[in-house]
Amino acid sequence: MQLIPPRLGAEMLLFDLPGHGGAPALAEVDIGSLATEIAQQIESTRCTGRVVIAGASTGGAIALEAAVRPELMITGVALFNSALLFGSPEGWAAIVAAATRHGTPAFDPAGTRRGWFTVVFAEGAGADVVADTLHDLADVDLSSHLACCRALAEYDGRHLARPVTTRGLAVGGTADRAVSASNMRAFAADSSTFRYEELPGAHLSVIENASGAADLLSALLRDSVARHHATAKETT
């Protein structure tokens, strides 16, 4: 977020998943309830301007759910390395079972590193960032992590592609093995208001290519501001 130009005048609100990054732990969640919580937090700020919402992976699904709520006046959405359907129930059941038996060691740092980052980044310029990210993963509350896994297993947002009228970006990672870029490409193709973009990198391309992600978000913010000013002129 520090890469977003200050001159855009945007106020940033950051949200973590339950049990992640110091957020309160929750043993039961679903994507819809998390979107409701974010909506309530946005409303609590008494924001009078336009809102642009962005999320990566699970956060992208939450952002999309929030975007269809008219009371938030969301004018831009950015989905990074996300999907309308995440994996299979069987795959998630196996992940939940392993984590239930073995705790956080079941997160498999080596496998996670391969899935989240390209080898070039993980073993090169991004080595310290990758190490910090995996260290943070080990500190995630286990019950909250399992709840988020179950939420993704149950989530199906395929009905949201066409009803979303907000302008947005659907961004895939060129080397994403966790959530194929084809998910975001197909979503953009089925939406009348989203366009597809691609970032070099794996599942966490927002970290691996932070400057590219910031450029895309900055452009979306500028577009939202420009459309807001144009609308204001038309009504005066």
The pLDDT value given to residue 61? 96
In a domain? residue 57? yes
Q: Is the pLDDT of residue 169 over 80?
A: yes
In a domain? residue 189? yes
In a domain? residue 146? yes
Here the CATH number for the domain that contains residue 122 is 3.40.50.1820
Burial letters for 204-229: b for 16+ Cβ neighbours within 10 Å, e otherwise? Answer: bbbbbbbebbbbbbbebbeebbeeee
- The DSSP line for 115-171 is HHS-HHHHTTTTHHHHHHHHHHHHTS-HHHHHHHHHHHHH---GGGTTT--S-EEEE
56 and 204 Cβ atoms separated by less than 8 Å: yes
pLDDT in tens, 138-159: 888 999 999 999 999 999 999 8
Listed residue (107, 183, 103) closest to 143, CA to CA: 103
In a domain? residue 194? yes
In a domain? residue 21? no
Q: Structurally, how many domains does the chain consist of?
A: 1
Mean pLDDT of 188-192: 92
Expressed as residue numbers, the domain containing 201 is: 26-40+50-227
pLDDT in tens, 63-86: 999 988 877 778 899 999 999 999
